[in-house]
Each structure stands twice: as C-alpha cells, then as structure tokens.
Amino acid sequence: MVIPAHASLDVAPAPPATGAARMTLAQKLIARAAGRAHVTPGEIVNCRVDLAMFHDSSGPRRLAPMLAEIGAPIWDKNKVVLVIDHFVPEADDESRKIVRFARDWAAEQKLPHVHDSQGICHIVLPQGGHLRPGMFAVGGDSHSPTGGAFGAYMFGIGATEMLGVVATGEIWVQVPQTIFMRWIGRLTDGVSAKDMVLMMLGRHGMNGGQYQALEFCGEAVQALSMPERMTLANMSAELGAQVGLVAPDATTQAWLAMQGTRIGADDTAPWFSDEDAAGIRHAFDASALEPQVALPHSPANVRPVSDVPNMKIDIAYIGACTGAKVDDLRAAARVLAGYRIAPGVQLLVAPASLRDHELAEREGIVRMLTEAGAQFLPSSCGACAGYGSRIPEGATVISSTARNFKGRMGAATAEVYLGSPFTVAASALRGVISDAREILR
C-alpha cells in the first residue's frame, strides 16, 4: 500500500528474516567492515575504517594536540583526506590562524590527500575519487552521511572518536535498524530531492531516524541523479539518522566514471538490501509531492509552498553541500533564464565546488544566473555555517541549505526559510516565497 506524499505510512517491522543471510544494505556494509559473515541490529562490532575525512574546522587544530599527547602516528595516511573548506577564504585573523595551522600540519604530516579551497568536503570527497560502493568511512562533520548516496557506510563523528580512528584505523558501532523510505512514482518538474527530504522531516521530525540507518529506495529514488541522491543522504543527518543510504547502480557507476573513478557492475552488485530483510517501512508517492518550505527556525517546521503565500524576502541563497551542486545550479538557471530578480532582492550563489562552478560556466549557467542578477561567492561552506558572507540582522532569507536554526547563518534576528534551488530561484524572481512550477509552466 502506498499513500500520497503529504502523508506517511508506519508499518510494523517485517517478520523475522527466513535465513541468517538475509540482511539490509547497512548490515552488509558493517559486516564487511567487521570481517563478519552476518551482523544483527543491536550488536556492537568493531569495524575497520576505509576512509577518514576531516576539514579545517574539525581536523588538525583538534587532532594534532591529542595525537601529540598520546604519542601516536596516523595509522594510514593514504586513508585520510583533509579538506580545507570552512574558513576559506579567510575573513579575519582567527580564520587565517586556523587555515594556516591546517596547511602547516598537513605539510608536516606529508598527507597525500589534501583538497585546499576546492569546495565543500562532502562534494569534493567523491569528486576527488575517494568514495566507492562498499566502503566504511567516517567524517568529522555531521553531514558526512552524504557518502551513503554511493552505497558507502559513512557517518559523522566527533573529535575524540576521530582521534581513535586516526590512531588505530578502527571504530566500534552498534548495528542499526534500517528504516526504509520508499518513494514510488516520479517527481514532477520543479520538485526535487530537497522537497522529498523536507517532507520527510515535516512528517517524522528531526528524530525520525532515531540514530538508525535510513535507506532511500523506490522508483523515484532510482530515477534521481547522483547529486540529487547526495541531497537525500546528506539530510538524513537532519532526520536524526546515523547514515542515509542509496543502493548503488548504473547511475552510480556512470557518475563516478565522469569523476575519474571507474567501477564495474561487480562493485555495485553486492550492495543492496535483501527483499525480506527486517526493517521499518514508510511509503510515499513522489508524483503527489509539491514544493516544500521549512519555516524558521527548524528544518522540520515544514509546510507546502502553497501554505507560505506572499512571504517577502530580502536574500535568496543558493549554497552548501545540500543545495549548490551542479544539478542545483541547473535548476535555478532553468527558472531564471531570461529574467531579472525582483528589485531589492539579493541572490547569492556559492557553488558547492570549483568543479561544479567550472561545469556550470561551460554550460552557460553562470552567465544565465549572472544576467538574472546573481552574485557569485567562493566555493566553500560560507554563509551556510555563518562563515564569510554572514546573513545580516533582520534579513528574511530563502536558502537551499540544510539548516535554519536561529543564528546559524549569521545574525540571530534573521528569519531563514529553507527550500529547493527551484524554490529559491523562483522566490528571488518574484520577491516573495514562490512555487517554481508556476514559472516553469
């Protein structure tokens, strides 16, 4: 039974699996990392880490003194990736100090994988060839579950946990229960993965994932591009999950090949949930979904865009790992091509990576957005986390970012609404929060 996207169906856990080998994708990924044939939800197991990622905010300045104190070297420098993305470009002396320390420490450690000012870590990581299906990875950032879009078990950890990983190459996990988010049908034009995840947040709240594994599946998910799948996995963090997973397929292979990472069907084939694996199941109809907007000051304070009429905005922000990948920039350009944004509105665009910016430039997207009145900002975390171009006092903002907590993007008096890049662009055009479908039609 499938119900419309504006509602959700809570189904009792599936009956016990018929055989010991029946596992979810999350269980299979953990079992591989633990060197086990089978793991069961609730078990605590020790896992070997294939990749540890951290950035200038979460990494060297916190890890270096702790590693020095315990006298431990990095367990495997080839499995460590440092991305300098939070405090660049350096806006003040404190930012310069943090970035300089990260660069100096990376040089001292002779780290082979450093991405400096190339974009946001969650986007740079797969674009740099560091992720592939079947991996078990950790990141020093809450949105590290983005890696789950590639069929990798990746989750965020704190500095103390990262110390243990960097020193030993291992971490323990409690095997999670899987919550299946199945989407049937297809999204209509002007509706995106951001709307899917906002709707799930509105329905299930920020603890809907209960620190479990979310698996996004169904026809609508399979039809999504990799950047859109990354949006779903990324915001599983807002749903309270440890990981957000999408089973890898031909789309995964093709996207990774475009980044220079070639994998075959044998690399994706093992990574799926067995049909009768136990879990909680929710079902939604993508064809019934309309654009969603999160009102201040929570990503779960969600309404359909039709319930937020005539809300005047000052700033439209297209940025962050959730909302400024090349597909997001394409969506905004489709809405704004040939138009100018409303008088008195600022449209700020911070592409998620230099690679996405360059691709958008080659496709003419940068020109279209600039002609519409957009101002381009550096490819970094920027205003999403309150760095660099901070949102000013009293501003009303529609943003493609993942979070709208009070003060997160700058001034505590700012009112931040969340929407898809389609919605942000349409709102910039009209000066009020708007439904992009009306323009695209």
What pairs with residue 243 in β-bridges? Answer: 213
How large is the C-alpha radius of gyration of the chain? Answer: 21
Tens of pLDDT, residue by residue over 81-136, are 999 999 999 989 999 999 999 999 999 999 999 999 999 999 999 999 999 999 99
Residue given tokens 């060197």 in the structure block: 35
What percent of the chain shows pLDDT beyond 90?
Answer: 85
Cβ–Cβ under 8 Å, residues 360 and 392: no
Q: What are phi and psi of 315, to 5 degrees?
A: -135, 135
pTM here is: 0.94
Q: Give the E-state strand segments of 33-78 in sequence order.
A: 44-48, 51-55
Q: What's the CA gap between 323 and 327, in Å, rounded?
A: 9
Residues 243-274 pLDDT 10s: 999 999 999 999 999 999 999 888 999 999 99
pLDDT score recorded for residue 20: 57
* Residue position matching structure tokens 């493609």: 400
**Rounded Cα gap, residues 230 and 260, in angstroms:** 18
Residue carrying structure tokens 């300045």: 61
| Residue in the structure block whose two tokens are 């959700």 | 8
pLDDT digits (tens, 9 = 90+) for 4-36: 443 333 333 333 444 457 999 999 999 999 999
> Three-state DSSP class for 196?
helix
Please enumerate in sequence order all residues whose Cβ is within 8 A of that of 100, keeping only pairs 6 or more positions apart, or say none.
none
SS3 state at 297: coil
All structural domains of the chain, each given as residue ranges with its CATH number in brackets, are 1-289 (3.30.499.10), 292-440 (3.30.499.10)
Contact by Cβ (8 Å): 51, 81: yes
User: Residue holding tokens 């969600």?
Assistant: 302
Span 291-327, pLDDT tens digits: 999 999 899 999 999 999 889 999 999 999 999 999 9
What the block records as the tokens of 61 is: 């300045």
Beta bridge partners of 349: 318, 376
